[in-house]
Amino acid sequence: MKKYDIIIVGGGVIGCMTARALSRFNLKVLLIERESDIGMGASSANSAIIHAGHDPMPGSLKAEMNRLANPMWDQVSAELGIPFKRSGAYIVAIGEDEFGCLAALKERAEKNGVLTEIISADEMLKREPLVNPATSGALFTPTAGMVDPFAACVASIENAIQNGVEVLTETAFTGFIMEGRKVTGVRTSQGNFACRWVVNAAGTYSDEVMHAAETRQEFKITPRRGEYYLLDKAEIEINNILFPVPSKVSKGILVLGSTHGNVLVGPNSQTTDDKENKAVTPEGLAEIWQGAQKLVPSITPRSVIAVFAGLRATGNAACQTPGVSYHNDFVIERAGEVDGLINLAGIESPGLTAAPAIAQRVTELLKEGGEKLTEKPGWNPIRQARPRFNHMTREEQAALVTKDPSYGRIVCRCEMITEGEIVAEIHAPLPARTYDAIKRRTWLGTGRCLGSFDMPRVVELLAHELNLPVTAISKKGSGSEFLQRQTKEVEA
């Protein structure tokens, strides 16, 4: 049985950033992920916002982690080459009643240590002309930002791999190996592994991992599904993050720009018992559209490229701060009843924002648990981002094509993604081995044709570079292969 110091269960942004944080030390670390790629859960289906921190309940772990992590993103994005823009965000009031709510939101923000400013309707329309002209003003949070959340996963885990962390995908956690109340390993679909510590970063399944160790039986994840529209970047231009005045259960339907230039609309909030239910519904999409048009009336259905849904890992943990009544807080703890288990659970919004601070907190919990963390000599925090042809000047493009002609062969015409970029992702530290893995890394297939032009060529490239038959190439892993059999032999 192969032995590790620490095994991380779950390859979302929390698990990936934790892996990077631990790669700094002389530890043997393994991250396991049940899907065919990292970041396939909430980390690739969310609002892609680095929250300023105005919204979490003051005194909660959510508020603390948001406050600590927000300023970390400038350094993290620079070190890892993650697309990030500190754009600020606006909570837009429509009508005088909503404008009256902004003062209370500002007061909560101040309790959380967040800088805000109430601006007039005229100023709001000056900054974002497409906002509903019926706006009565807005609360501006300048430290909010936009990020590519999947890129954050990829960059973090690649840097971790460069510093010695191992990763196994298509490896599902099935149970613990224990001696009394001490964790000594994990059971997985790919065999058993010994370890001294397990970090539970399993997202919507984090409660089930807890329960497998017979701890925190009262804790439960109740997924909340959020549906989204993705709009064509050529149809409408929104440069900011636009929130409505929030409700008691949700921040509301957002309209926001993105690091890719598309506009994102959503999400709603629908409780579900099914941890795999990422379906979109006519009723949900209608709700989102109505909310979006309240903020930006000029949005039209012809702008829609795609719809999708993600799941929030909403837990029922009570806030531990005395006097604070809140029951959907993060769980970031060493399990009291079990030695060798760290739980990172109920990590919904602002979980993406909080990820760097949560990862740092894991190192502190390990020290508190008696683990001696000694830094590796030569640990490298830098991960070089790969070239993005459509972000370059003409001169830069010409120089790159001269150096490597494969960057001159366009595979995705809508997004201008080249053969060179695709091949680079296939041979990256964590190789992209499926069509969707290429899509998430490059944004290929997200234009108007939705991949109808590029898909055959990408399948061909994957088969060639991985030395596999085309029938082995899939959309998102085993069971989603594009081609079932060859009807005739052809010459290569």
408-435 pLDDT, tens per residue? 999 999 999 999 999 999 999 999 999 9
Q: Check pLDDT > 60 for residue 492.
A: no
Q: Dihedral of CA 58/249/318/38: which sign?
A: negative
Burial environment of residue 206 by CB neighbours within 10 A (0 to 12, 13 to 18, 19 or more): buried
The pLDDT assigned to 249 comes to 62
How crowded is residue 15: how many other Cβ atoms within 10 Å of its Cβ? 31
Q: At what angle do helices 435-442 and 455-466 cross, to 10 degrees?
A: 110
> Across residues 86-102, what is the average pLDDT?
95
The pLDDT assigned to 32 comes to 99
Residue 7, phi then psi, degrees to nearest 5: -120, 125
Spatial distance between the Cα atoms of 447 and 439, rounded to a whole number of angstroms? 11
Spatial distance between the Cα atoms of 128 and 239, rounded to a whole number of angstroms? 7
187-208 pLDDT, tens per residue? 999 999 999 999 999 999 999 9
The pLDDT assigned to 490 comes to 57
Please tell me the pTM assigned to this model: 0.96
> Across residues 353-362, what is the average pLDDT?
99
Residue ranges and CATH numbers for the domains of the chain are 2-45+149-221+317-368 (3.50.50.60), 86-145+223-310 (3.30.9.10), 389-472 (1.10.10)
The pLDDT assigned to 129 comes to 96
Going by their DSSP bridges, the two strands 135-141 and 89-94 should be labelled as antiparallel
> Which of the four pLDDT bands, split at 50, 70 and 90, describes residue 336?
confident
Helix (H) or strand (E) holding 289: helix 282-295
The pLDDT assigned to 489 comes to 65
Spatial distance between the Cα atoms of 124 and 131, rounded to a whole number of angstroms? 8
Catalytic residue from among 51, 327, 427, 464: 51
Per cent of the chain over pLDDT 90 is 91
The pLDDT assigned to 491 comes to 56
The pLDDT assigned to 252 comes to 86
211 is catalytic: no
Contact 244, 91 (CB under 8 A): yes
The number of helix segments (H) and strand segments (E) in the chain equals 13, 24
Residue 242, phi then psi, degrees to nearest 5: -115, 115
Spatial distance between the Cα atoms of 126 and 133, rounded to a whole number of angstroms? 11
Of the candidates 464, 459, 453, 465, the one whose C-alpha atom is nearest the C-alpha of residue 480 is: 459
Q: Check pLDDT > 70 for residue 22.
A: yes
